[in-house]
């Protein structure tokens, strides 16, 4: 088995990819205390070509982490603050009449970037959410009959606050399904909180962004994505993923199960987890790691179970226990 692994590693040189992932973690660790899982999921979604929904109460560094993550990449970055009066043209761009030529020219909106941070995504109405459907799924925008493809990489990092209800709109299911992960960010523990206060004090007013150095450029990201496509996935692992997702569709506690898009997301992110750990094959553990952030926002509890205080994470745990792990 060891020889086989060496052979594969010669074919897929994963050392650089593993080192790049560790370098990103170390760079962000200069400023971000704790949140290792959050940072790892951001790295995985970047290489798995996915978008991320980040949910948590205000003040726990959701936006800061997303901004600093964009800073470790030598790519374009833009930020859009979603508000109830935001129009689709504020996101996509608009055609403006050029007085000299008497023709309309398209001026690109802030969505035309590599890493796009959307703050408080659930504050914009359905019309503006719909403007994101094509951009997130097909990585292009069609305006006035003309299609504009996006540069690669293209990744949306969206934040939302689960507590505040006033002036917010529930995201449509079709929109939620376009996010590869929903990351729930929690309060830090006491040790981390002490360290956060300490490092803030020691920075003496210096902005966190100034401490972060760029690590990866667009070409590096494209190379690593290509390598990840070649990761070996045995048939029994594919069957395991299918069984897990299939269970969500007929589970007594669930009103809505995962779609085939969820199954593909599990496959892609499991391959990425294997790759950033320097492995050229996927294990059941890689699959398990992806389940909660992928299924969190795709499965819906029945009203009775929700009233009892059950969570989607509880149901995912039940499903994992009920499906035999391939050996």
Q: In the listed set 224, 258, 277, which residue is the last one of a domain according to the structure?
A: 224
pLDDT at 245 over 90: yes
Give the H or E element holding residue 320.
helix 312-322
pLDDT digits (tens, 9 = 90+) for 107-144: 899 999 999 999 999 898 888 888 888 899 999 998 88
C-beta separation of 176 from 161 below 8 A: no
* Judgement on whether residues 39 and 66 belong to the same structural domain of the protein: yes
Residue 269 sits in a domain of what CATH number? 1.10.8.80
The residues, any chain, with a CB within 8 Å of residue 90's CB and separated by 6 or more, are 80, 109, 128
Q: Give pLDDT, residue 267.
A: 96
Residue 8 lies in a domain: no
Residue 41 counted as domain residue = yes
The residue count for the chain: 327
H or E element at residue 181: strand 181-184
Q: pLDDT at residue 9 above 70? A: no
- Residue owning tokens 């970047």: 46
CB atoms within 10 A of CB 194: 12
Strand partners, 108: 93
pLDDT band of residue 7 (cuts 50, 70, 90) is very low
* E strand or H helix at 94: strand 93-98
CATH number for the domain harbouring residue 140:
3.40.50.300
Q: Show Cβ contacts of residue 169 under 8 Å, excluding neighbours closer than 6 positions.
A: 122, 123, 124, 125, 126, 129
Percent share of the chain, pLDDT over 90: 48
101 and 41 belong to one structural domain:
yes
Domain boundary among 201, 224, 247: 224
- Do residues 240 and 133 share a domain? no
Same structural domain for residues 127 and 217? yes
pLDDT tens-digit profile of 292-327? 999 999 999 999 998 998 899 999 999 999 999 988
Question: Are residues 287 and 261 part of one domain?
Answer: yes
Residue 208 sits in the same domain as residue 243: no
pLDDT-derived band at 163 (thresholds 50, 70, 90) equals low
CA distance 324 to 327: 9
- The share of the chain scoring above pLDDT 70, in percent, equals 95
Host domain of residue 246: 231-322
Per-residue pLDDT, averaged over 61-90, amounts to 89
Q: Is the dihedral of CA 195, 197, 198, 199 positive or negative?
A: positive
pLDDT at 8 (0 to 100): 45
Pair (175, 254) in one structural domain: no
Backbone angles phi, psi at 150, to 5 degrees: -90, 155
DSSP output for 126-155 = HHHHHHHHHHHHHSEEEETTEEEEPPSS-E
> Which pLDDT score, from 0 to 100, does residue 164 have?
64
- Mean pLDDT for the chain overall: 87
Domains identified in the chain, total number: 2
Residues 298 and 149 grouped into a single domain: no
Residue 206 lies in a domain: yes
* pLDDT at res. 10: 42
Instruction: Tell me: pLDDT of 215 over 60.
Output: yes
Position 6 in a domain? no
4 within some domain? no
Lowest mean pLDDT, pick from 4-18, 175-189, 251-265, 269-283: 4-18
What are the two backbone dihedrals, phi and then psi, of residue 79, each rounded to the nearest 5 degrees? -125, 135
Q: Could you give phi then psi for residue 325, rounded to 5 degrees?
A: -80, 130
262-298 residue pLDDT tens: 999 999 999 999 999 989 899 999 999 999 999 999 9
Is a pLDDT exceeding 80 seen at residue 1?
no
One domain, residues 132 and 242: no
Q: For residues 46 and 272, give the distance between their C-alpha atoms in angstroms, rounded to a whole number.
A: 9
- Looking at the fold, whether 60 and 90 belong to one and the same domain comes out as yes
Domain boundary residue, one of 167, 194, 224? 224
What pLDDT shows up at residue 172?
Answer: 81
Has residue 165 got a pLDDT over 90?
no
């Amino acid at each position: 088995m060891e020889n086989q692994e060496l052979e594969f590693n010669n074919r897929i040189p994963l050392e650089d990819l593993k080192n790049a992932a560790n370098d990103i973690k170390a760079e962000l660790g200069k400023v971000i205390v704790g949140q290792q899982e959050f940072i790892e999921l951001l790295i995985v979604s970047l290489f798995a070509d996915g978008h991320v929904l980040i949910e948590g109460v205000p003040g726990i560094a959701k936006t800061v982490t997303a901004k600093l993550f964009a800073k470790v990449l030598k790519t374009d970055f833009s930020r859009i603050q979603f508000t109830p009066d935001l129009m689709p043209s504020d996101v996509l761009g608009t055609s403006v009449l050029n007085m000299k030529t008497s023709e309309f020219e398209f001026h690109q909106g802030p969505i035309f970037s590599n890493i796009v941070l959307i703050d408080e995504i659930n504050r914009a109405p359905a019309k503006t959410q719909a403007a994101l459907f094509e951009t997130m799924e097909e990585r292009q925008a069609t305006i006035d009959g003309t299609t504009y493809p996006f540069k690669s990489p293209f990744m949306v990092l969206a934040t939302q606050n689960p507590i505040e209800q006033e002036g917010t709109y529930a995201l449509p299911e079709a929109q939620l399904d376009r996010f590869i992960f929903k990351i729930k960010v929690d309060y830090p523990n006491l040790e981390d909180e002490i360290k956060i206060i300490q490092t803030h004090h020691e920075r003496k007013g210096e902005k966190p962004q100034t401490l972060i150095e760029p690590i990866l450029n667009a070409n590096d990201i494209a190379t690593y994505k290509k390598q990840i496509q070649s990761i070996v996935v045995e048939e029994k692992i594919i069957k395991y993923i299918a069984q897990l997702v299939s269970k969500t569709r007929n589970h007594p506690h669930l009103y809505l199960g995962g779609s085939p898009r969820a199954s593909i997301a599990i496959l892609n992110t499991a391959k990425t987890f294997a790759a950033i750990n320097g492995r050229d094959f996927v294990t059941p553990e890689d699959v398990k790691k992806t389940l909660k952030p992928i299924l969190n926002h795709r499965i819906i509890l029945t009203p009775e179970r929700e009233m009892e205080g059950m969570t989607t994470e509880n149901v995912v745990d039940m499903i994992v226990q009920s499906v035999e792990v391939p050996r």
